Structure 1
Amino acid sequence: MANLQGNTAGERIRLARISKNLTLAAVARQAGIAETYLPRLEQGHYQPTIDTLTRLAKALSVSLP
């Protein structure tokens, strides 16, 4: 099992995405967000809203803490 204990929301999203071998494009499409937004979120440039976190969690098949 992958360690998904990143320090920021973006790190945790990136770790979950990589552990499931999903591309940025695939996750962005499933979550209904812009493909250009996701890498910036993962890098910590943006803080996701609760709505965005919920959609990303669903796209990644993970639960929110």
Structure 2
Amino acid sequence: MYGFWVKIRRSLHRAARARVQKLCLIHIYPGYDQEPKREAATAFAGEILVAEKGMVLEV
């Protein structure tokens, strides 16, 4: 799982550098035992959403 988190962290830093205001985490592995939103907040200061089945976002 460590490699997975390294890739996510890299993406979070890129989003922060691009001044993204809202980020939606998708494709979270089933059984991932950490709180992805809390972990993402360590590297991204904007609004963080976690995708759910049937979720619709307006872009």
* Same fold (TM > 0.5): no
TM score, norm. by length of structure 2: 0.31
Higher strand share: 2
Q: Larger relative CO (CA 8 A, sep 6+): 1 or 2?
A: 2
TM score, norm. by length of structure 1: 0.29
Higher helix share: 1
